[in-house]
Amino acid sequence: MSDGCIKMKTLKAEILLILAAVIWGMAFVAQVKGMEHVGPFTFNAARFLMGGISLLPLLYILPRFQRVSPKKPASSGLLLGGILAGLFLFAGASLQQVGLQYTTAGKAGFITGLYIVIVPIIALFWGHRALPKVWLGAILAVTGLYFLSIRGDFVLSYGDSLQLIGALFWAGHVLLLGWLSPRYNPIQLSIIQFLACGLISLVISLVFEPTSPDTLLAAAGPIAYGGIMSVGVAFTLQVVGQQWVPASHAAIIISLEAVFAAIGGWWLLNEHLDGQAFFGCGLMLLGMIVSQWPSRRRAKADTAVANDDNPLPAAPLAE
């Protein structure tokens, strides 16, 4: 595959990740509104099961939509990988939803966004080093998150602790998808992880969160957006996009979710954005631009991402 073709596919993948960030940012209102009627596990069970089911028609519409190493069968390990991704997804989503009941949205957004730097830190233990510009972009993005999200004193509460633990699982989810996405059919992988996450959430909700048809009906709108758009569309865009975008870069792009959440609050909920918030948004955008700035190593690294068949490739984390 030529360098030009790889660069074009990488650009398209980055656009898909930005679209995912837009959808997730706008979904924050749905998550909060939904929990006014149902518990966090009930909400997650409904939206992830709905998201997985909504993708089933794509198995017939896009049967060949995959990018798999020619040396490795497309079906090898798909079920196991999808279930493992679903477990990480369940942990991150559950901790986020439960934590939102005990902390502010701004603090939750900032702490969750720490996976931007957790991803390359974890990668170091695997021997994969990110380029200096990736570290600089991550630092700028985290700093921007702070200015965008934090107001007043920053004290680590119970809810904040849940968000911090959740950030570790979100980082693990990004890294795991960075390894799985280039190897397996992204639609199949998405369906498996969503159904796994939804079924685990359903079991817990049935035990700890008794609900009724009336409460589910009251939360139908937020659940529908969270299931079809936030889960079915956005998470699949992430899986597809991470076929061509290194995990460290993907984490920075996805972190723009906080920017779009702020924009959505201003647009849909008449929330005020002050100078500090705009400054934070600017830093986050600058962080993404810095991390994506072309370098001499880009073409070689992109080629490595396209052709590497190692069990844990270095290229997706090192650019």
Q: Is the pLDDT of residue 125 over 70?
A: yes
- The more confidently predicted of residues 130 and 297 is 130
Cα of 88 vs its chain's centroid, Å: 11
pLDDT of residue 183: 85
**Average pLDDT of the chain to the nearest whole number:** 79
The 10s digit of each residue's pLDDT in 150-163 is 766 666 678 888 98
Which residue has tokens 């920017």? 259
Do the Cβ atoms of 187 and 236 come closer than 8 Å? yes
Residues 227-242 have a mean pLDDT of 88
φ/ψ (deg, to 5) at 42: -65, -45
More confident residue, 318 or 90: 90
Q: What is the pLDDT of residues 11-61, one digit of tens each?
A: 899 999 999 999 988 887 787 788 889 999 999 999 999 999 998 988 877
* CB-facing half-sphere around the CA of 274: CA atoms within 13 A: 6
Does the pLDDT at position 270 exceed 90? no
d(CA 319, CA 297): 8
Q: Which residues contact 210 (CB under 8 A, 6 or more apart)?
A: none
Is residue 209 within 8 Å of 74, Cβ to Cβ? Answer: no
Which DSSP state fits 150?
-
Q: Which residue has the higher pLDDT, 62 or 299?
A: 62
Instruction: Provide the residue ranges of all domains of the chain, joining segments of one domain with +.
Output: 3-62+74-305
To which residue do tokens 């998405």 refer? Answer: 190
Which of the pair, 58 or 179, is modelled with greater confidence? 179
Structure tokens of 185? 């059919």
| Residue 29 · residue 219 · CB < 8 Å | no
Under the banding of pLDDT at 50, 70 and 90, the label for residue 62 is low
Q: Over 50: is that where the pLDDT of 300 sits?
A: no
Provide the residue type at 66 as one letter.
Answer: Q
Q: DSSP readout, 62-120?
A: STT-----TTS-TTTTHHHHHHHHHHHHHHHHHHHHHHTTTS-HHHHHHHHTTHHHHHH
User: Percent of the chain, pLDDT > 70?
Assistant: 81
